[in-house]
Amino acid sequence: MDVRLTTEQRELRDAAARLADDLGPGSVLDLADDDRAARLEKAIAATGWRTLRSDGASGVEVALVVEEFARGLIDVPFVGPVLADELYTRLTEAGGPTEGSTDGVSADGVAAAASGGATVAVDGVAIDAKGLRGLLGLDGTRVLAGTVGATVEGVDLTRLTGEPAGPLTAVGTLDEETALRFRALALVVTTADMLGAARGALTLGAEYAKVRQQYGHAIGSYQAIAHLLAEARALVEGAVSVLRHAAWAVDELAAAEAVQAALVAKAYTERAARTICETSIQVHGGIGNTWECLAHVFLRRVLTSAELFPATLEEIDLGLS
């Protein structure tokens, strides 16, 4: 038993963190800076990390990059393409796409997925769809394909959603174990996304508490503020521990166990991340409730990733079986 990150994993995490710090939006105003977003897109495309899974990377490595990108509010697609890459890889391993199953649209979608230009559909919505054409989905064990139509801004200010251009059609089937494993990975990457965003929100709040003065002192010197932030910091630590295990489990445990590990991680992290973001808003006071403060951008990202591939407490195994 040794659950430390390897040197390579730490280096990958640090590289993702640097990229996010250099090119992620540093303010709400930055979200509208198309030149910055274009530089970010180019930099991420150059890393090849959107195809980490088809390149053989583990769930741990994918989760580390997702977490750092969310911490830096990376506002070009990542989670969507990573999951599409996973689906496409499993589809081809299963001998898909099934011959003759692709009409013009689904053929377009599959072709886009093959070249890394796809995202996934969740409940009929193309998530994380900015600039992407291909669209893959999983319905039970059936892999569906189509293309992305018009994109819109949604609740999450850092990611666009899209309408499918038309109905998705089945292009192949995965075995149940593989389909479950896809769900585990999807739960893990959305959990990593929430954790990263929560860490970003906590840093924002803690740094603000060091400089904002009231009654002649930095507000972080008051226990009422400091204790809120300390609780948030402890929640981060708990979430890191459950996520680490779930990310490892994606490739190392039986699929049903991997899903259980991921459900625990997501259920824990969802509550933790929401609390941390709410704390950040509170510490910012009135400013935290304005559109210009990044705190709500983190919160919106957390809320969105919580709803994608949701984890409910009812599904948690109580250890009776």
CB of 89 to another protein, least distance (A): 22
* Rg of the Cα atoms in the chain: 20
* Interface positions, 42-71, toward another protein (CB under 8 A): 60
If binding is defined by CB under 8 A, does position 242 make contact with another protein? yes
Q: What residues does 122 pair with on adjacent strands?
A: 125
If binding is defined by CB under 8 A, does position 220 make contact with another protein? yes
Q: Which part of the chain contacts another protein (CB under 8 A), choosing from 99-107, 115-123, 126-134, 220-228?
A: 220-228
H or E element: which one contains 170?
Answer: strand 169-173
Joined together, the tokens standing for residue 233 give 């910091």
Among 27, 221, 289, 290, binds another protein (CB under 8 A): 221
Residue 115 φ/ψ, nearest 5 degrees? -100, 15
Residue 217 φ/ψ, nearest 5 degrees? -135, 155
Whichever of 179 and 235 has its CB closer to another protein, that residue is 235
**DSSP-assigned states of every residue in 22-65:** HHS-SSTGGGG-HHHHHHHHHHHHHHTGGGTTTTT--HHHHHHH
Whichever of 91 and 202 has its CB closer to another protein, that residue is 202
Whichever of 126 and 185 has its CB closer to another protein, that residue is 185
Among 21, 227, 254, 287, binds another protein (CB under 8 A): 227
H or E element: which one contains 109?
Answer: helix 104-114
Are the beta carbons of 108 and 148 closer than 8 angstroms? no
Whole-angstrom distance, CA of residue 255 vs CA of residue 212: 48
Q: Which part of the chain contacts another protein (CB under 8 A), choosing from 43-51, 132-140, 143-151, 246-254?
A: 246-254
Q: Residue for token digits 């989905």?
A: 137
Whole-angstrom distance, CA of residue 251 vs CA of residue 243: 14
Among 82, 91, 144, 229, binds another protein (CB under 8 A): 229
Among 10, 18, 39, 217, binds another protein (CB under 8 A): 217
Q: What residues does 148 pair with on adjacent strands?
A: 164
If binding is defined by CB under 8 A, does position 192 make contact with another protein? no
If binding is defined by CB under 8 A, does position 9 make contact with another protein? yes
Print burial letters for 111-120: b (CB count within 10 Å at least 16), e (below 16).
bbbbebbbbb
Please, what is the end-to-end C-alpha distance for the chain in angstroms? 24
CB of 157 to another protein, least distance (A): 26
CB of 220 to another protein, least distance (A): 4
Whichever of 145 and 235 has its CB closer to another protein, that residue is 235
CB of 287 to another protein, least distance (A): 18
If binding is defined by CB under 8 A, does position 7 make contact with another protein? no
CB under 8 A, 24+ apart: contacts of 215-219: 219/283
Q: Which part of the chain contacts another protein (CB under 8 A), choosing from 32-40, 66-74, 127-135, 210-218?
A: 210-218
Binding site for another protein (CB under 8 A): 1-6, 9, 60, 206, 209-210, 217-218, 220-223, 225-227, 229-231, 233-234, 237-238, 240-242, 244-245, 248-249, 252, 264, 267-268, 313-314, 316-320
